[in-house]
Amino acid sequence: GNSVTQMEGPVTLSEEAFLTINCTYTATGYPSLFWYVQYPGEGLQLLLKATKADDKGSNKGFEATYRKETTSFHLEKGSVQVSDSAVYFCALNNQAGTALIFGKGTTLSVSS
């Protein structure tokens, strides 16, 4: 079946540090891949997405590249800020109009 595995948190970093959150997936076919972010007390917001192999999604300094050969979609940011503190979810969708399949989420805490 389809599944998403992401690194366990929490991840604790100092401001301006480099961030990597690993995400791998198992899926049939060619899913779309997503990173969603959840700030404290809020719902999930789409951070970035990629719909085919070698695509790079980017937003707010975050990037992730769809790697079919390694079935991965790792999230990176070169210099994190305190305001990036949140829970990050990797997800996949195999067919438009169907449900997303989420990883367990990774909590990021950035201190100044």
Taking Cα atoms as reference points, which of 89, 103, 85, 2 lies closest to residue 46? 89
Q: With contacts defined by CB under 8 A, name the span among 15-23, 35-43, 52-60, 72-80 that binds another protein.
A: 35-43
Show the binding pattern over residues 36-55: x = contacts another protein (CB under 8 A), - = does not: x----xxxxxx--x-x----
Nearer to another protein, 26 or 45 (CB): 45
Q: Which residues contact 15 (CB under 8 A, 6 or more apart)?
A: 80, 81, 82, 110, 111, 112
Residue 13 interacts with another protein (CB under 8 A): yes or no: no
Beta carbon of residue 10, minimum distance to another protein (angstroms, whole number): 13
**What residues numbered 52-111 form the site for another protein, per CB under 8 A?**
89, 93, 95-100, 102-105
Beta carbon of residue 31, minimum distance to another protein (angstroms, whole number): 9
Binding residues for another protein, rule: CB under 8 A, are 32, 34, 36, 41-46, 49, 51, 89, 93, 95-100, 102-105
